[in-house]
């Protein structure tokens, strides 16, 4: 199993969040360390925050007639929000001594990426087993398709590059 750096997984989780007035400055700082973000930062400097937020909303929250890239496992596995995957993940998080801190469901991709980063940092036998469970039971079954749709549907380089990076990571984990 190939392990991405915890920093890259946390960065990916951050990029799934709704952009705000500080996001572009943060992205510029991150682009200094991550070359793959540089072209995306330049592109985002040329559009308004509202346009960026609209693209985020269209892709991840409320696209019409369908949200193309819903970042929730239950949507992909069960065809609805808050499916059994949420309960399974809450149990997996509890085994690791953590709970989802966000107001989002436990099967939100950003939360799962943060959890994977934590497990990579812990590097204990239990953490490695939990990471394997997260990957095999909760990510490999839907994340490749999510990434492909993100690469196809995204109008901004930021999200296409995010799809590329996550796809490379999950493919290497198989």
pLDDT in tens, 66-84: 899 999 999 999 888 888 9
According to the model, what pLDDT value does residue 21 have?
97
Give the residue ranges of DSSP H helices in 62-156.
73-78, 84-95, 109-122, 125-133, 143-153
Q: What is the DSSP letter of 35?
A: G
CATH code of residue 95: 1.10.3480.10
Q: Is residue 30 part of a domain?
A: yes
According to the model, what pLDDT value does residue 5 have?
87
Mean of pLDDT values over 95-122: 91
Q: Is residue 167 part of a domain?
A: yes
The dihedral built from the CA positions of residue 147, 142, 97 and 102, taken in this order, carries a sign that is positive
According to the model, what pLDDT value does residue 2 have?
42
Q: Is residue 64 part of a domain?
A: yes
Answer whether residue 114 shows pLDDT above 70: yes
Q: Is residue 1 part of a domain?
A: no
Q: Is residue 108 part of a domain?
A: yes
According to the model, what pLDDT value does residue 69 have?
96
Domain that holds residue 47: 6-173
Mean of pLDDT values over 114-134: 96
According to the model, what pLDDT value does residue 102 have?
67
Closest CA to 150 of 92, 68, 90, 50: 68
CA angle, residues 166, 88, 14, in degrees to nearest 5: 35
1-47 residue pLDDT tens = 344 689 899 999 999 999 999 999 999 999 999 999 999 999 999 99
Q: Is residue 158 part of a domain?
A: yes
pTM: 0.92
Number of domains in the chain: 1
Compute the mean pLDDT over every residue in the chain, rounded to the nearest whole number: 93
């Amino acid at each position: 199993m190939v392990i991405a750096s915890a920093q890259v997984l946390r960065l990916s989780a951050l990029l799934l969040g709704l952009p705000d007035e500080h996001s572009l400055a943060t992205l510029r700082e991150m682009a200094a360390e991550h070359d793959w973000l540089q072209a995306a930062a330049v592109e985002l400097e040329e559009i308004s925050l509202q346009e960026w937020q609209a693209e985020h909303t269209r892709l991840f929250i409320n696209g019409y007639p369908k949200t193309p890239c819903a970042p929730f496992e239950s949507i992909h596995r069960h065809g609805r929000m808050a499916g059994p995957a949420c309960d399974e993940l809450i149990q997996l998080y509890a085994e690791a001594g953590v709970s989802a801190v966000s107001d989002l469901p436990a099967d939100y991709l950003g939360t799962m990426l943060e959890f994977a980063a934590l497990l990579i940092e812990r590097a204990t036998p239990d953490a490695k087993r939990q990471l394997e469970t997260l990957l095999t039971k909760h990510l490999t079954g839907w994340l490749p398709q999510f990434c492909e749709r993100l690469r196809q549907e995204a109008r901004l380089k930021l999200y296409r590059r995010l799809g590329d990076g996550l796809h490379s990571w999950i493919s290497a984990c198989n």
